[in-house]
Structure formats: structure tokens, C-alpha cells
Structure 1
């Protein structure tokens, strides 16, 4: 993905157009060590982009260690079609929930819709994905 391409998470600018990758998820995906996502919604969006771009290292680094799998596997031929954030709910300064719908098409052409209420925690100034409930 080029820096000027529309970000895969679809976050819009003030005019309703998708932000460029460099101004959206790219700033966190490309610079995780020194520029963590500022809130749970930004982290969730950047994790969606990481799935689109198959960035296993970013996904593992942003997964809370208590819940992190050993690896992340990507299904060959999967095409991600879009993300819709349904709600973003800060619980307190260090906990939040984000409900989203992600759409994808598998290698056979079948469309899938994943709806999840995700839980996030902030530790030492960084947000981490904990887990979620799939609807």
C-alpha cells in the first residue's frame, strides 16, 4: 500500500473521503515503537488494516500478552471489503469497547460478515486488544 492510497479502514476526513494511509493507520502500523495508536478505536482500525495488509508482527504486538496467540494465520485469497465501526465506548481512562462489522470475501468468492464487540486495555500508555465477542 502506498502512503497516498486510501486507508483500508475507511476512516473519513472532514469531507467524508477516506483518509490516506499515511494520515490514518499507516502512522501506527509503520511506527508502532514510537507512535502507538492514541485510543482503542484507532487501534481497532489499525488492526483491521493490519489484517488487510497481513502484518502479523503488528497484530501480535498490539494483542495483550494475556490473550495473545502464538501466531496469526491469514487465509490465502481472502479479500477484505470494508470496515464499519458501530460504536466506540470508553469505559474509563484505561478500558474501552469497540463494536464493528468487517466484511470479507474468501478465496471461493463467498462473502462473510464478522461483527464483534472488542475489549481494549491501556497499559503504560499503549492500547492493546484483549478479546471480543462475535455476534
Structure 2
């Protein structure tokens, strides 16, 4: 079996404060809440899935009292969004206003975009470049 290039992608990250993380990704970045669940039994956790309707990817944020692993982001835990154009000051201001903080990411990404850490410290790179497969 091979992986179909159209397969849906889910990226899951733990969060100390789901409400703060949700606010960052929705009010700040402009993603939509696609699904929400509350832990109902031992071993389960609260979660909120954010993304864009119809996209082949989404971000799952997990948290709550039964969170098994706390967030442990590193400088290389990047979610890169290729915008294929300038990163607007208003977008960066919205992300910061929604609980993010602008951070340096090194010469390459600082040249080709803007990096903002979410409330848990995970980094979102807004790249001015377009994605290219080749």
C-alpha cells in the first residue's frame, strides 16, 4: 500500500489551555473550529480541531485534566503556512493580540516570513513563499 497524496493530514498538539489555544488559531489565524469534544471517560481528553473547511489538513489541540503529555515545544516544532505573498501587519497584530508572541526563527525563516509562537510555545511560520514540489 502507498500513501495517497490526497490523504487527510492531522497534526495533534497538547495544550495547557485549550481556550487560549483555540482563540489564537481562530481569532488570530482565522481558522475554524471543525470539531470539539469533552472527555467523557477515564483515559480520554478534551480536544478541539481547527482548520479550514474543505482543506486536507487540520490541527487537533488536546488538553484537559487528563492530558497525558504536557506541551514541550522546541524551536524546530514548526507549522509552516505558505502564503505566497506578503505577511500583512494586521495578521501579525491579530496573532499577537490573540495570545501569540512574535519570535525570531533564524536567518532562513526570518528572511522568508514571520514566526509567531502560540500560547503553548509552538511556532507558526507565515511564509511569504509559495510551496513548490520541485
Compute the TM-score of the two structures, normalised by the length of structure 1.
0.27
Greater Cα radius of gyration, structure 1 or 2: 2
